[in-house]
Structure 1
């Protein structure tokens, strides 16, 4: 399993602090503390959102540019009721987002 700081830094480097903050449901300042290792690991629900987002990010980044993947996370998605994947992840709709990611890759 990938360590917490690597997960956090990868997402922040590629999606940005604001988008990661939206996905996880914490303040941007908390995300920054996680990247620096100056804050304790998150609560279980927040860590799950972050790890699911990381898994989806890695899957999409294997075939698309980081810029394209970031745009996908932010964009309105008809398969998610026109919510963005980031919004859907923040609501713990993991299976729906994975299905939308696979459809995007196809």
Structure 2
């Protein structure tokens, strides 16, 4: 039964990452990760840009929005089991499953599809380990 609940939880995180409008997704990601980490993943230096994305005053590029959607999927998945501070630490810390690269850095700098898949796999392993 626990495995089914975990799958459903992962499914909700995925569905939200695909279905949420851009601004709502950015607000949700900002609520989980904080504005500085979202700005980092989104490759912007000013946190003001994140607020503008969240408020619909400005649109990130399609590539940045895709990176943010992948980040939201992972963050929402982790947030179902852990606190914001744990999720934030997980995104920023060295990860042995990612060759000690922090997940946020991998999502920001990596080849998008490969990085997203690797980070999601690492997040699933983290949640499975309890």
TM-score > 0.5, shorter chain as reference: yes
Structure 1: stretches of 5+ with no match in the other structure: none
1:6 and 2:28 aligned: no
Corresponding residue number in structure 2 for 1:83: 101
Find the counterpart in structure 2 of residue 68 from structure 1. Answer: 86
The corresponding residue for 2:3 is: none
Q: Does 1:22 align with 2:40?
A: yes
Post-superposition Cα deviations, 1:41-72, rounded to whole Å, max 9, x if no partner, equal 22111010000001111111111112211111
CA shift at 1:19, angstroms?
A: 0.7
1:98 maps to 2:120: yes
The alignment's C-alpha RMSD in Å is 1.2
Per residue, is there more helix in 1 or in 2? Answer: 2
Deviation, 1:89, is 0.7
Instruction: Say which of 31, 35, 41 aligns to 2:54.
Output: 35
Count of aligned pairs between the two proteins: 105
Q: TM-score scaled to structure 1, two decimals?
A: 0.91
Q: Which runs of 4+ in 1 moved over 4 A?
A: none
Q: Which has the larger radius of gyration?
A: 2
For residue 29 of structure 1, report the CA deviation from its aligned partner. Answer: 2.4
Q: Once the 2 structures are TM-superposed, how far is the Cα of residue 24 of structure 1 from its aligned partner?
A: 1.6
